[in-house]
């Protein structure tokens, strides 16, 4: 059996079409233009390409966007001042500070400084708390995108054994929280594995749905999963450079061998990646509607 490919490119395209129409309607009926600012500190190549893609996508959907590129030696104080400025800016409904930040800046302090009503990443503790309680909030973009992929591909999650690899604040922890809730793409039984897990293979082999977010290229091989597993591969690992200078990417799962055993699998690239950016746009539209009393 060869797995069905869950194309993030295709699902993201469908959601973007819905969002573009929503943005047009917001403008026409309510004179509201959703606004997003992306802030990048330093020149990490992966971060530069993510932030550029975020601004480009915003523009394509009719969302007003600003991109602020700050040098790597920007002080924490300067960054906090910039965030305070955008917290007050009426044109801006969403603020995104690209992570990771340089070592001399306290990430927690920066994320806490963002107005929770503009926290379109869903990283502020107010939004994290609301998410855990199942209240309306900004959901973190990558887990939110994965829920959409599962739902729109018709994957049954209710009662499923979901095994998540990686306990990051951006993916693993929120993913576990969301999939155990009584909600669409939820109601699952969750196991979260991490670097101290005693026997990770025991868990991966019994997973109905395996979500890998560890950042180790091709870590999961065919003998570590069961027949019919659904694979969501969050890893985006640079494993080389093509002759034209483009990064060659690999996921956390060995795609070629595992796709022969899985029922569904996400590719890298073209899987979770495009969904993350799209959900950021969805959150920005949500932020604009909330700020203008339309939600």
Under the rule (CB under 6 A), what is the footprint of ligand GUN? Answer: 96-99, 121, 141-142, 170, 276
Q: Which residue in the list 119, 121, 208, 233 is annotated as catalytic?
A: 121
Shorter beta-carbon distance to ligand GUN: residue 98 or 204 = 98
Cα gap 51→46, rounded to integer Å: 9
Q: Which segments of the chain does DSSP mark as H helices, in order?
A: 8-30, 45-60, 76-88, 107-113, 125-133, 141-152, 172-179, 200-204, 255-258, 272-291
Q: Is 148 a catalytic residue?
A: no
CB of 57 to ligand GUN, least distance (A): 13
CB of 177 to ligand GUN, least distance (A): 16
Helix (H, G, I), strand (E, B) or coil at 220: strand
Q: Is 69 a catalytic residue?
A: no
Shorter beta-carbon distance to ligand GUN: residue 39 or 262 = 39
CB of 90 to ligand GUN, least distance (A): 22
Helix (H, G, I), strand (E, B) or coil at 190: strand
Element (H, E) at 238: strand 237-241
Shorter beta-carbon distance to ligand GUN: residue 141 or 220 = 141
Q: Which residue in the list 54, 173, 259, 261 is annotated as catalytic?
A: 54
Q: What angle do CA 43, 120, 250 make, to 5 degrees?
A: 50
CB of 54 to ligand GUN, least distance (A): 9
CB of 83 to ligand GUN, least distance (A): 12
Q: 283 with 139: CB under 8 angstroms?
A: yes
Q: Which residue in the list 67, 98, 148, 286 is annotated as catalytic?
A: 98
Residue among 273, 182, 287, 178 at smallest CA distance from 233: 273
**How far apart are the two ends of the chain, measured CA to CA in Å?**
45
CB of 97 to ligand GUN, least distance (A): 6
Of all residues in the shown chain, the one whose CB is closest to ligand GUN is 99
Q: CA distances (Å), 112 to each of 2, 4, 83, 116, in order?
A: 45, 41, 10, 8
Shorter beta-carbon distance to ligand GUN: residue 144 or 203 = 144
Shorter beta-carbon distance to ligand GUN: residue 58 or 97 = 97
Shorter beta-carbon distance to ligand GUN: residue 16 or 144 = 144
The CB density around residue 168, as the number of other CB atoms within 10 Å, is 15
Q: 157 with 274: CB under 8 angstroms?
A: no
The CB density around residue 130, as the number of other CB atoms within 10 Å, is 17
Q: Is 98 a catalytic residue?
A: yes
Active site positions, annotated: 54, 98, 121
């Amino acid at each position: 059996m060869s797995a069905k490919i869950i194309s993030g490119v295709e699902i993201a395209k469908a959601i973007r079409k819905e969002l573009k129409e929503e943005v047009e309607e917001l403008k026409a009926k309510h004179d509201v233009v959703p606004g997003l600012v992306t802030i990048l500190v330093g020149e990490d190549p992966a971060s530069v390409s993510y932030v550029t893609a975020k601004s480009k996508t915003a523009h394509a959907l009719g969302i007003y966007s600003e991109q602020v590129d700050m040098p790597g030696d920007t002080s924490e104080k300067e960054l906090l001042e910039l965030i305070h400025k955008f917290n007050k800016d009426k044109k801006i409904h969403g603020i995104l500070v690209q992570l990771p930040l340089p070592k001399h800046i306290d990430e927690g302090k920066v994320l806490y400084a963002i107005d929770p009503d503009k926290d379109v990443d869903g990283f502020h503790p107010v939004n994290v708390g609301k998410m855990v309680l199942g209240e309306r909030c900004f959901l973190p973009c990558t887990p939110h995108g994965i829920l959409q992929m599962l739902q729109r591909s018709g994957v049954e999650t209710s009662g499923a054994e979901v095994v998540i690899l990686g306990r990051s604040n951006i993916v693993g922890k929120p993913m576990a929280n969301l999939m155990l809730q009584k909600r669409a793409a939820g109601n699952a039984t969750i196991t979260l594995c991490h670097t101290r897990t005693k026997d990770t293979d025991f868990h991966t082999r019994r997973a109905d749905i395996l979500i890998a977010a560890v950042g180790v290229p091709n870590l999961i091989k065919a003998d570590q999963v069961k027949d019919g597993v659904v694979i969501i591969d969050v890893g985006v690992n640079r494993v080389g450079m093509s002759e034209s200078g483009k990064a060659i990417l690999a996921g956390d799962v060995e795609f070629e061998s595992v796709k022969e055993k899985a029922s569904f699998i996400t590719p890298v690239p073209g899987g979770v990646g495009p969904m993350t950016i799209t959900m950021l746009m969805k959150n920005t539209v949500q932020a604009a509607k909330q700020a203008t009393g339309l939600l």
